A = this chain, B = another copy of it.
Amino acid sequence: MSVSAGVREPYTLQRLLDVAVQVFTERGYDGTSFQHLSQASGLSKSSIYHHIEGKEQLLRLGLEQALDPLMATITEAEALGGPAIGRLEHLVRRNIEILTERLPYVTLLLNVHGNTETERWALEQRRAYNKAVAAVVQEAVDEGSLRADVDAKTTARLVFGMINSVREWYRPGRGTSPEKLADQVLGLLLDGIRAG
């Protein structure tokens, strides 16, 4: 229960998680050892074990930081009711918000390949999310809000492919705000970039 002598300041589980998610992304989950986590956090291995049961629990907690809010947006969109196009807009805006607010966690999620039980669980959640969004796209086509020639599955993939690519260049606090970014993305997706 005591904190290791090598620790400079008290560590919380959240901070351990922040460090672990960074290391997982840099080295890959499989390539990360407890030695790496210990070096990066400044915590002894026994201190790390004081907070968590093992490496996979850290991965799960990290993935939940991205997945929990993302999955919640499906329920939020359902609760909104109204035309599907409005619910789709909500899904896109919230996704961009979550991505920009929780960049390291969403990056971890998007790098998951499915080698462990936890990674397969995360992939299942992502598939459920994509399916729910594709269903809203299809509803928006059926209600006449979206073009009839729109293929719901490919469109949902392309839309989130575009949104998720934002992680490659977006730096929180610099340049475009999340709100402006969401406006740009929605403008492009809904109305395209061709001059009227």
Contact = CB atoms under 8 A, between A and B. Distances in A.
Interface of A: 28, 31, 85, 144-151, 154-155, 157-158, 160-162, 164-166, 168-169, 176, 181, 184-185, 187-196
A190 B193 contact: yes
**How many copies of this chain does the complex contain?**
2
B154 A161 contact: no
Given A31-B31, A165-B164, A165-B165, A188 B158 contact: yes
Contacts of A185: 158
Contacts of A189: 188, 192-193
Given A162-B162, A162-B165, A146 B193 contact: yes
Contacts of A164: 161, 165
Contact of A193 (B144, B155, B181): B155
B146 A184 contact: no
A162 B85 CA distance: 21
